[in-house]
Amino acid sequence: MVRTQIQLTEEQARALKAAAARRGVSIAELVRQGVERILAEDAEAEKWRRAEALIGRFHSGRNDIAVEHDRYLAEDYL
């Protein structure tokens, strides 16, 4: 693990200490959990951003995809 130093307000430090005590974990563990949560949210947002970037980039030549998508998927994959 890498040791790092952060600065918190007094209120943040008190609240973090209390939250760690309630959960029965160290402050460091609670900070690690928070970092993991943020990184997971960022990764999920990036997946959505990449998926949304594909919208409208490919053309099927069909004009009824919105209505018939289930049928087309069934024909191709079932």
Domain that holds residue 35: 10-56
Q: How many domains does the chain have?
A: 1
pLDDT at 55 over 90: no
| pLDDT at residue 39 is higher than 90 | yes
pLDDT of residue 65: 86
pLDDT the model gives residue 76: 84
Domain assignment of residue 45, yes or no: yes
Tell which residue, 15, 16, 10, 14, has the closest CA to residue 32: 16
CA angle (44, 8, 5) in 5-degree steps: 80
Helices (H), 24-64: 27-54
Q: What is the pLDDT of residue 77?
A: 85
User: What is the rounded distance in angstroms from the CA atom of residue 50 to the CA atom of residue 24?
Assistant: 38
pLDDT digits 0-9 by tens, 17-31: 999 999 999 999 999
**Would residue 43 count as lying in a domain?**
yes
Confidence of residue 58 (pLDDT cuts 50, 70, 90): confident
Let me know if residue 48 belongs to a domain. Answer: yes
Average pLDDT of the segment spanning 64-68: 89
